[in-house]
Structures are given as C-alpha cells and as structure tokens.
C-alpha cells in the first residue's frame, strides 16, 4: 500500500501498550516508519482526485511544515470524527453513526438511503484497523448492491 509511512503524533511519546510501541520502534529502526513528534495535522493538500501533501503544526513552537504524501489516515483518541454529519445521520449518544448491522446484508446502511458508514465512525467497540478494513469492504459491497438497484 505504501513504500513509506509517516506517523504524526501530537505528543513526545506514545501511550500505547508496550508491545505495540516495541513493534513501532522496530519499524522505525528498519526505516519503514518515520515519526514526527509533537505535531498535529492542520491541512490536507490536494485536489478532488488525490492527496499530494499535508501541513503539520508543531504543538510547542506553532511552526508549520509541509510534507509530501499521497494519503492521510487519521486516528486519534476514542471520539469519532462525525460532527460534520450530526444534522443528517442518526448517531448514538457518543457520536458514532448508527448502522443497520446484522447478517441479512446492508449491514453498513445508515439512516439515509444510499449512505453507508464503516470503521471507527460506526464502531465503538473494536476500533482496530483490521475491523475497519473489513467494515470498509462491507460498506463497498453494500454501496455496490445499492447502486445496482
């Protein structure tokens, strides 16, 4: 998927499980991952077709820097980034988008016909990359089925 990964972290250290930090440190040592500490994402650069970069801001100095990248994946905390949809989609009290779920198909269907949700915006329990990838696949299949109607 990528030849290089840049992890942007808003603090000077990680608060994850030691085993996960050890795995990350090995990837850093192997030069597979670069970490930019004490920084936050300010802007994604690109057009409607693709991402070309990002503007990062150092939380200590307020200085900004531009990095080149072809994708941005945001994962911070346990608060889903769904505020944008609050007036349109049904959500639970924590801000997760409500989906149909179940085994009859259409499991990623939201309260609006033709709108599907997947990953951390609708999963308040597992919040793992692998489960998000799986629900993303389900959502794509649900969308395909919807479009074939």
Q: What is the DSSP string of 73-126?
A: ----SSS-S-GGGTTTS-B-TTSPBP---SSSS-TTB-SSTT-B--GGGT-SS-
Could you tell me which residue, 33 or 76, shows the higher pLDDT? 33
Distance CA 39, CA 59 (A): 5
* Number of domains present in the structure of the chain: 2
Q: Is residue 142 part of a domain?
A: yes
CATH number at residue 142: 3.50.50.60
To the nearest whole percent, how much of the chain has pLDDT over 90? 73
| 54-103 pLDDT per residue, tens | 999 999 999 999 999 999 988 766 688 899 999 999 999 999 999 998 77
pLDDT of residue 77: 65
Do 92 and 36 belong together in one domain? Answer: no
| Tokens, residue 44 | 């994604």
Domain boundary among 16, 42, 68: 68
């Amino acid at each position: 998927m990528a030849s290089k990964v840049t992890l942007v972290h808003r603090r000077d250290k990680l608060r994850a499980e030691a085993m996960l930090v050890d795995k990350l440190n090995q990837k850093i040592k192997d030069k597979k991952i670069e970490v930019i500490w004490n920084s936050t994402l300010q802007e994604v650069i690109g057009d409607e077709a693709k991402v070309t970069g990002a503007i990062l801001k150092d939380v200590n100095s307020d200085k900004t820097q531009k990095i080149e990248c072809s994708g941005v994946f945001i994962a911070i905390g346990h608060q889903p980034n769904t505020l944008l949809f609050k007036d349109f989609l049904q959500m639970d009290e924590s801000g997760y988008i409500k989906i149909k779920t179940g085994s009859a198909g259409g499991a990623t269907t939201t309260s609006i016909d033709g709108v599907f949700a997947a990953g951390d915006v609708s999963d308040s329990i597992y919040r793992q990359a692998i489960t998000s990838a799986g629900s993303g696949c389900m959502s794509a299949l649900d969308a395909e089925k919807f479009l074939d109607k």
